Amino acid sequence: MATPLKVFYSCAKCPAYCCTYPQIPISKSDIRRLAKGFGISEEKARKRFTKKGEEKGTRVLRHRDDHIFETACTFLDPETRGCTVYEFRPSPCRAYPGTARCGYYDFLANERNRQEDPELVITAWVADV
């Protein structure tokens, strides 16, 4: 899906909730891109950065502990909340959210507005699926 021209969310003002999704699927070409970016073999990148997904035969991004959410993608900078592999990030990260709105950001922005706290962070939120 092409990125919409106008979007109603700001990743720069968000603690990167989407990077905490536990099952971000990683394809062979994503692993290839990561391996190239780090200058290591695909096998090493596969083992180092991904683990078995819940769905049989899939690989997902590894997590590590996070001080805001319980865990987050191993590539998320815990302080800046930015992606440390932005140039060679996996395809699901490039496509997300794929619409003009981000559900988490809508909720966060509403709560920040309602509670008059622009720094507020919502750690428990369930997407409407």
Position 19 contacts ligand SF4 (CB under 6 A): yes
Place of tokens 């999704």: 21
The interface region with ligand SF4, picked from 37-45, 50-58, 87-95, 117-125 by CB under 6 A, is 87-95
Size of the site for ligand SF4 (CB under 6 A): 22
Backbone angles phi, psi at 7, to 5 degrees: -120, 155
Position 49 contacts ligand SF4 (CB under 6 A): no
Q: Are 91 and 27 in contact (CB under 8 A)?
A: yes
Residues in the chain: 129
Position 16 contacts ligand SF4 (CB under 6 A): yes
- Considering only residues 91-110, where is the footprint of ligand SF4 by CB under 6 A? 93, 96-97, 102, 104-105
> Strands, DSSP E only, in 1-129?
50-52, 59-61, 63-65, 71-73
Candidate list 31, 60, 76, 109; residue touching ligand SF4; CB under 6 A = 76
Residue 12, SS3 per DSSP = helix
Candidate list 61, 63, 66, 109; residue touching ligand SF4; CB under 6 A = 61
Place of tokens 């290591």: 40
Shortest distance in whole angstroms from residue 57 CB to ligand SF4: 21
Closest to 34 (Cα-Cα) out of 20, 24, 44: 44
Site residues, ligand SF4 (CB under 6 A): 9, 11, 14, 16-19, 24, 61, 73, 75-76, 83, 85, 89-90, 93, 96-97, 102, 104-105
